[in-house]
Each structure stands twice: as C-alpha cells, then as structure tokens.
Amino acid sequence: MNGVELTEVTALLALVSIALFVIGLKRLSRVRTARSGNLLMATGMLVAVIITLVEIGLVDYRWIIGGIVVGGSIGLLIVVRAQATQMPEIVARFNGFGGAASALVAVSLFWGVVVETDATSTTAELLGGTSAVTLVVSILVGASTLSGSILAELKLRGTLSGSPSVPLRTAVMGLLVAGGLAVGLTAMLVVDVAATAAALVVALLVLAVLVGVILVLPIGGADMPVVISLLNSLSGLAAAATGFALGNNLLIIAGTIVGAAGLILTQIMCVAMNRSLVNVIAGGYGEGSDVEHGEYGTVVSSDPESAAMVLEAAQSVIIVPGYGLAAARAQNAAHDLARALLDRGVQVRFAIHPVAGRMPGHMNVVLAEAEVPYELLHEMSEINAEFSQTDVAIVVGANDVVNPAATEDPTGPIGGMPILDVQQARRVFVIKRSLSPGYAGIKNVLFERDNTVMLYGDAKDMLTELASEVASAK
C-alpha cells in the first residue's frame, strides 16, 4: 500500500471511532442534541467493528456472521417487544450481557492459548504478565456485572422483592473479591498444568457471580437505577480490562470512558435523590422496613364525579405522575384528562420529580410515549414555587416524592429528600389503590391533610373517568 501500512490506516480510523464516541457522549448529555449524539456513538461502534474486520484480514467468516446476525436479531426483538414502562429493565439486561461478553472474551482467550494447547507453562509466560493479570480482572468484574444486573432486573420487575440483609456483607464481599483474585492470579501466574488452571478459572467465575449477587441482593428496588448505573460503569471497566488483555487500545479507551462517565452519572443520580453512593450500596433502604409504619388519622376520600366538579371550577391544575401511573399504563388516560382540561381553558402542567418512577427520567419517557407535549412537562426546580398558586394538584401513583415528612421531619427516614410541594396547592387529589406505603415504607402525612382528597382505584380507570366527566361537562 504505497508505503503506508494497513495497520497505520486502521489505527487512524480507530481514532475516528473514538472521536465519534466522545462527541456522541457529549451531545447525548444535552436535550436538544441527544438523539444525534446516540447516532454518532452508534456510527463510532460501526467504524470500530469495520476496522477490526479489516485488521483480522481474510478468515473464516462463518462464526462472525452467524454471531452478529443472531445477536443483532435478538437485540432488535427485545427492543421492539419492550414497552416504555420496561425501559429500565431492558437497560439492566443489556448491561448484564455486556459484562458477560467481556468475561467470556477473557475466558475464550485463556482457553484457546492455554487449555487447548495443553500448555506446560504458566499463562503469564504464554500471554505476558499484563494480559494474564487483566484477564483475571476482566472475568471478575464482567461476571459480577452479569449476576448483579440479572438481580437488578428481577428487582425492577418486582419478581424479586424485599432487600434481605446479608450478615457481615462487607466482610463476605471482601473475602469473595480477595478469594477470586487469589484463585485467578494463582491460575495465571503459578499453575503450569492446563487442566488445573482451567479448573481455577471456573472457580473464579463462580466467585465473581457470587460477588454480584451479594452486592445487589440487600439493595432495595427503589435504588436499582443507581445500582444499574454503577454496574454500567463496571461493565465499561471490564471492557477496558479485556482491552489490556488483548493489547487493544480502542477497547481500553472506549471501556475506560464508559467506566468513568458511568461513575460520574451514578454520582449525579445519587445527588438527585439526595443520597450518598455509600448509603445506597449499604442497602436495606425502604422495602420491608415497616418500622415507621404509623397509623393514619382522618383521611378523606371521594369519587370521580365530585372530583370532576372541582376540576371543572379550577383555573390551574398540576398533574404529578409517579410509578403507579407507569405501572397502570395510565399515561394515555393522563393525556386525555390534560386535553379535556386544556379544552376548557384550564392551565395544565405536569410536575416531574427527578426520581419519580423506577429510574431518573422514567416519567419523561412514559409521558412522551403518550405524546404529552414536551412543553407541559416541568422539572421539580421550575414548578415547586407554582403549587401555592395552583387550584388543584392531582397526584397519580406517586408517594414518597410528595411526602411533606421529608421537609417537616428532617431526621426521618426520607428527611432531606427533595419533594414536590403539592401540599401547597388549594386542593390535592391523590389517585392511589390504597394507603399502602411507597418504597420508603413510611406513612405519607400528605394523605391526612385537610386539603387532600383520596381517589381510591386504578390510575387508568380513574383518570379515564375524570377525563370523560370533565369533557362532557358544560
């Protein structure tokens, strides 16, 4: 190639791929440019795959094509079949797959070089010390990302509830990680019998899977968003470790950027929830801790007909959606109600708490699916001052994020958590199935307020009824 080596061309193209990742990620963190950012990152990935195919040259393509076709179709199917409410679970699942892939790449490399050649020297002698050590890191981090992500998905779905405490968790975790490293490093640096090394690598896989389980098991479902973000950071690090093992800078750079960016994002999410990362990881928050349960005093409830009459007389209404809205798939009904009110000339806005739902931004995704105009959605900081000038606030399936106890009882379990000040509105309707507590497992003092009226029932049915009552009123 006229004095220019093919490897130099591909190395330069790798830089293009990395530039696309960096610019894409930057654009993804701004609302206006987010979608194009994602497209740039996908293009960067395509470039990376093409470079790699060029680099490996003419080989047997059967497995490559088969793997990409199968994986691509499964990925496509999962996304097409997913509903907007399931997005967080889907992200958790994909993240687990990414971690598992990194661990399996490391296992495949080890197996091919050591076990299948029936080597009589150590892995470190065959692959080099760096590769041997980073293989262990890749397997440990990748496999624990997989098991942690599976648990996170099950907890988000509610298949697995509760947050059982693991006795001496920190010590057990420490022992498992240290044990995994010891087993792995022994296999790579000391053992020169292929069969023994293979057995130790399998033991490492088992220990790594246990690490993920012990890490996520005691953490409550409400904290899963933060956990998934942390696991995402870990799967980036697993990819970077794989990059070291293979001597591939593209993998190291992309993996490390994800690792670092994921960690910062985790931190930002914790701040939005007014928690510290340590506090989240410590677990046991919410779910099942019925210590502070507390009985309710006088709670007023009503029916949709009378509630609709109040709405008809209102000038301004703020709707506060929570996970209950997503779970009941009531986003379209909420939009119908908003439309009916807007038709009457009522000012309607949606107030979005940063952690409403199962993941930050979850409510935006769900409401956008129902084509609620973006202009109607307001973040907590912009709308909190507005509640005092609002006639009616309608809380749909939200609980802890509107509990005034957060500000009134600073030492309480949710003390200090930023909340939406719905209690300031002239009238508050709370659409909820029952008085059962939210994630924090505590009573909501909002429900006892004089200006609060409970509307018991399914969020979708209740909103649909309210919408038709309002629409048919003169």
Partner 1 sequence: MMGTLLVSVYVFVLAAFLGFELINKVPPTLHTPLMSGANAMSGITIVGALTLVTVASPSVSVIVGVLALILATINVVGGFLVTDRMLATFGGKR
Scanning residues 299 to 358, which ones bind partner 1 (CB under 8 A)? 352, 354-355
Residue among 453, 432, 466, 431 nearest 338 (CA)? 466
Between 71 and 416, name the residue whose CB sits nearer to partner 1: 71
CB of 171 to partner 1, least distance (A): 29
Among 179, 218, 284, 361, binds partner 1 (CB under 8 A): 361
Site string for partner 1, 382-411 (x = CB under 8 A): ------------------------------
Taking the complex as a whole, the smallest distance from the CB of residue 192 to partner 1 amounts, in Å, to 19
CA–CA distance, 338 with 45 (Å, rounded to integer)? 41
3-state secondary structure of 449: coil
Residues recognised as catalytic? 400
Q: How far apart are CA 116 and CA 103, in angstroms?
A: 18
Would you give the DSSP letter of residue 435? S
Strand-pair partners of 393: 318, 428
Nearest distance from C-beta of residue 22 to partner 1, angstroms: 7
Helices 304-313 and 459-472 cross at an angle (nearest 10°) of 50
Among 8, 379, 382, 408, binds partner 1 (CB under 8 A): 379
> Under the criterion CB under 8 A, does residue 56 sit at the interface with partner 1?
yes
What is the DSSP-derived secondary structure letter of residue 301? B
Minimal distance, residue 375 CB to partner 1, in Å: 7
Among the residue ranges 33-41, 283-291, 386-394, 456-464, the one whose residues contact partner 1 (CB under 8 A) = 33-41
Nearest approach in angstroms of CB 28 to partner 1 is 5
Q: Return the residue of 102, 147, 403, 464 that touches partner 1, per CB under 8 A.
A: 102
> For 268-346, where are the E strands, in sequence order?
316-321
Contacts to partner 1 from residues 114-153, by CB under 8 A: 115-116, 130
Q: Tokens 């240290």 correspond to what residue?
A: 178
**CA 108 to mean position of chain CA atoms:** 29
- Cβ atoms within 10 Å of 35's Cβ, excluding its own: 11
Does 45 bind partner 1 (CB under 8 A)? Our answer is yes
Q: Tell me the number of residues near partner 1 by CB under 8 A.
A: 115
- Closest distance of CB 129 from partner 1, Å: 9
Q: Which is nearer to partner 1, 107 or 428 (CB)?
A: 107
Q: Which stretch binds partner 1 (CB under 8 A): 56-64, 320-328, 409-417, 434-442?
A: 56-64
Interacting residues with partner 1 between 250 and 269 (CB under 8 A)? 250-265, 268-269
Which amino acid belongs to residue 382? E
- Indicate the residue among 239 and 308 with the shorter CB distance to partner 1: 239
Least spacing, CB of residue 446 vs partner 1, in Å: 22
Within residues 173-202, the interface with partner 1 by CB under 8 A covers none
> What gap in Å lies between CA 334 and CA 271, rounded to an integer?
29
The DSSP-derived string for 52-120 is HHHHH-S---HHHHHHHHHHHHHHHHHHHH--GGGHHHHHHHHHHHHHHHHHHHHHHHHIIIIITTT-S
From candidates 1, 4, 31, 168, binder to partner 1 by CB under 8 A: 31
Gap between the Cα atoms of 431 and 450, Å rounded:
16
381 sits in the region (left: phi over 0; alpha: psi -120 to 50; else beta) called: alpha
Q: Which is nearer to partner 1, 236 or 437 (CB)?
A: 236
- Considering only the stretches 80-88, 178-186, 426-434, 450-458, report the one whose residues sit in contact with partner 1 under the rule CB under 8 A: 80-88
Q: How far apart are CA 246 and CA 332, in angstroms?
A: 50
Q: Is 59 in the site for partner 1 (CB under 8 A)?
A: yes
Question: At CA 115, angle to CA 109 and CA 116, rounded to 5?
Answer: 85
Q: In the chain, helix, strand, coil percent, each to 5?
A: 65, 5, 25
Residue range at the interface with partner 1 (CB under 8 A); choices 212-220, 366-374, 425-433, 448-456: 366-374
Binding partner 1 (rule: CB under 8 A), the pick from 1, 32, 159, 472 is: 32
Rounded Cα–Cα distance for residues 262 and 235 (Å): 9
Contact with partner 1 (CB under 8 A) among 240, 307, 326, 430: 240
94 binds partner 1 (CB under 8 A): yes
163's enclosing H/E stretch is none
- Select from 272, 282, 310, 435 the one that contacts partner 1 (CB under 8 A): 272
